[in-house]
Each structure stands twice: as C-alpha cells, then as structure tokens.
Amino acid sequence: MSLGNKYEPDLRPIRAPQQDLKQAKEPPHEIGTCRLVGDVLARAGDKWTVFIVRLLADGPMRFNELRRGADGISQRMLTLTLRGLERDGLVTRTVFPTVPPRVDYALTELGRTLLVHLQGLGEWAMENRPAIVAARAAFDARED
C-alpha cells in the first residue's frame, strides 16, 4: 500500500481501538459510562424504534404510513415512540399548514447515524440467531 499516490485510498485505521479507550474520559466498563450507554441503547434497541428508524430510512413518512408499515403497533405506541425519537434528536416532526393538517416524520442526521449501527446489529443478529436459538433450547432443557 503506497500512501504517496493521491489516487490510492489510505487504508490505515484512523485510530486503534485501544487508543479510543485510552482517550475516553471514563473507561467503557465504568459504572457511569455503562449507565449512559444503557440509556441510549434503551431507546435504540426498543422494538418499535428499530421498525420506525428502518421505515424512515427511505425518506419522510406520515403517521398513518408509519403505522401501516410497522404492522402490529398501536396508535398510542407509535405516538410514544415518535415522541421519544424526536426528543432524542433522531427524528424531526414537520407540521404543514394545510387542511387537514399534514405531519411528516423524517430521520435527522443523528438518526441516520443510528440507522448505520442498527443495520450492523441486525446483520449480527441474523448471523447468530441459530446459535442463540440453540443456546436457549439447551438452557430451557436444563431448567425443566
């Protein structure tokens, strides 16, 4: 790999993972950091958040479009999920002054960064689902 040619990509890692840990204000295993991460993961890992973020990946949608796309979600749960996502800065809510009123929901730039990570987590889940199902079955068999 030559770094002198401006047309060749620089494939060196930006920063090694160990350097990231050293530069963190608090190591990731510390209780305060774990709580902060847990708080964010509670939103990102919520069942309906995954659906809504995925649906909004293709562009803005109206409430009823989201409700139809997230089969099984109640109106109340969709409202709560969207409010939480808006509060966390992951989704914007745009009200148009029309009759009847029109409201669109869209991912923010921050929400788009979450989408990237959810896709990676989804791939991991699909790859490892058979092993997880087998582990659950083995555990349940021991418990009986």
Q: Give the pairing type, strands 102-107 and 91-96.
A: antiparallel
pLDDT of residue 23: 55
**What mean pLDDT is predicted for residues 116-137?**
93
Whole-number Å distance between alpha carbons of 20 and 18? 5
pLDDT band at 25 (very low <50, low <70, confident <90, very high): low
Length of the chain equals 144
pLDDT of residue 24: 53
Res. 17: pLDDT tops 50: no
More confident residue, 103 or 20: 103
pLDDT of residue 84: 94
Residue appearing with tokens 């409700």: 67
pTM listed for this prediction: 0.69
**What mean pLDDT is predicted for residues 100-114?**
94
- Tokens coding 18: 């160990």
More confident residue, 123 or 40: 123
Res. 80: pLDDT tops 60: yes
Greatest distance between any 2 Cα atoms in the chain: 64
Res. 39: pLDDT tops 70: yes
pLDDT of residue 14: 38
pLDDT band at 130 (very low <50, low <70, confident <90, very high): very high
- Domains of the chain, first to last: 27-143 (1.10.10.10)
Res. 103: pLDDT tops 50: yes
